[in-house]
A = this chain, B = another copy of it.
Amino acid sequence: MDAVTTVGAYWAAANARDWAAFGDLLSPDLVYELPQSRERITGRARYVQFNAEYPGDGWVVEPVRILGGASYAASWIRFRVGPDEQTGVCFFDLDEAGLIARITDFWPEPFEPPGGREHLTERY
Chain A positions within 8 Å of B, measured between CB atoms, are: 33-42, 46-47, 49-50, 53-55, 65, 67-69, 72-74, 76, 87, 89, 91, 104, 106-113, 116-117, 120-124
Task: Take A54-B116, A69-B67 as given contacts and tell me if A108 and B110 are in contact as well, using a CB distance cutoff of 8 Å.
Answer: no
What are 5 inter-chain pairs, A to B, with CB distance below 8 A? A34-B113, A37-B112, A37-B113, A40-B121, A108-B108
Query: Which of chain B's residues have a CB closer than 8 A to the CB of A104?
Result: 76
This chain's copy number in the assembly: 2
Q: Are A33 and B67 in contact (CB under 8 A)?
A: no
Grouping DSSP codes into helix (H, G, I), strand (E, B) and loop, the A interface class, with mixed when no group exceeds half, is mixed
Interface centre among A53, A112, A120 (most CB of B within 10 A): A120
Query: Which of chain B's residues have a CB closer than 8 A to the CB of A53?
Result: 117, 120
Query: Which of chain B's residues have a CB closer than 8 A to the CB of A35?
Result: 87, 108
Pick from B42, B72, B109, B113: contact of A67, CB under 8 Å: B72
Task: Take A67-B72, A107-B108, A111-B109 as given contacts and tell me if A46 and B87 are in contact as well, using a CB distance cutoff of 8 Å.
Answer: no
Q: Are B106 and A87 in contact (CB under 8 A)?
A: yes
Query: In the assembled complex, how far is the CB of residue A41 from the closest CB belonging to chain B, in whole angstroms?
Result: 6
